[in-house]
Structure 1
């Protein structure tokens, strides 16, 4: 099911009647029982323009998104190749250094970048997507739920930007890539 406009101009989610929900982005609800809204934030000890620039370069997403293998960018559109499928996305709003909003076939997202003097940047990622109860249950059990993945990916992005690498418990390259021994 395609939702032409998940996010309204005030940052809330758009419901069936095309009115923005007045609740804050992370708590907004609507009448879709299969629609999931997930919001996570991380403080990254880097300048806002550095965090925004790295996040905005979609070809760098596989560096910190463990479930993404490659991103091909064509203007405002992008084609994502992941471990569990492929999808297309389009950036619908881009306020340099402040916010990026995007839309995919069955999901949407918004990233906001807020400067915190002396501490860096708070990156808040809000996602809205369709997910059945069974898919949510299985995703939580297998740790593949999009909400779990986005939280992990934000932590990986923080590590990468602050230290230049991502900490791992893998002892060798095979363990890191998941190859058989």
Structure 2
């Protein structure tokens, strides 16, 4: 995590400013497998009224559980397909737009998002082969938040910040 991201995160926590978090990191059973990825410190931020849990896929109307999805580049365009080869790009874009709306309405300047996800991944995402191969890139939501000036960090970077 760079120093600016660290300072924005610390400022938000210390001043009780809103932080977006992937709902699964807060323990909500909403990832594609209907599981959570609980991080106790993120759950505590929610209990303290600082963190706002979001799930772009759920905001877009996708069910839980759901087939896994990954980002692929097709003819130079970023697309999201599930493992059944169904194009979910528009749905993922809708979830990203709704998540951005939450950020703008609440004034959140930073988001802690689930790594590697086709929505929330930041810096690394799965390559679209469904073989767990990671490549450089951002998920649809992470990219949109960044384009709109919201800092995005992964749960690993958040954990580094705690040390």
Question: TM-score, length-normalised on structure 2?
Answer: 0.26
**Larger helix percent:** 2
Instruction: Provide the TM-score with structure 1 as the length reference.
Output: 0.25
- Mark the structure with the bigger radius of gyration: 1
